[in-house]
Amino acid sequence: MASNVHFSSASDDWATPQEFFDQVASVYGPFDLDVCASPENAKCDRFLTKDDDSLAQAWAGRCWMNPPYGRKIGRWVEKAVSEMQRGGVTVVCLLPARTDTAWWHKWVIPHGHIEFIQGRLKFGGGVNSAPFPSALVVFSAPLNRKNRN
């Protein structure tokens, strides 16, 4: 199966589970732009790929971000905060709940609305759950979410 790479150390990409994304979109969507996608896993009609160098682009509207989970994840979270602070941009992020990291304390805690996800997600249609917990982090000024009722 092609998605097996999403569960190995050969890749830092973890494809967003569709059912989870649909639930998030029902609260925070609709989304205008997927800022960390490939044509195979994009969650929005408009998306940026690795070749587009999303970190160098201006983002707009409501953005979905499930960044690469490697050593550069802090740069992605910093970019989400920067875009939110620029104004008119909401970035909803699926992140590993790495509460012991510098990037979490520098960017997530002071700037994001954090929702810890109960249990562990099964990424990319995988059979097994991820080996780490996840969190949904929303960067928005002001927080702009639909009524949950």
Write the pLDDT tens digit of every residue in 58-108.
999 999 999 998 899 999 999 999 999 999 999 999 999 999 999 999 999
Q: What angle do CA 121, 93, 145 make, to 5 degrees?
A: 105
Report how far residue 48's alpha carbon sits from residue 50's, in angstroms, rounded to the nearest whole number: 7
pLDDT at 146: 54
pLDDT number for residue 122: 85
Residue 110 has pLDDT above 50, yes or no: yes
Beta strands in the chain (DSSP E): 33-34, 61-65, 89-96, 113-116, 134-139
3-class secondary structure, 89: strand
CATH architecture label of 2-139: 3-Layer(aba) Sandwich (3.40)
- pTM (two decimals): 0.85
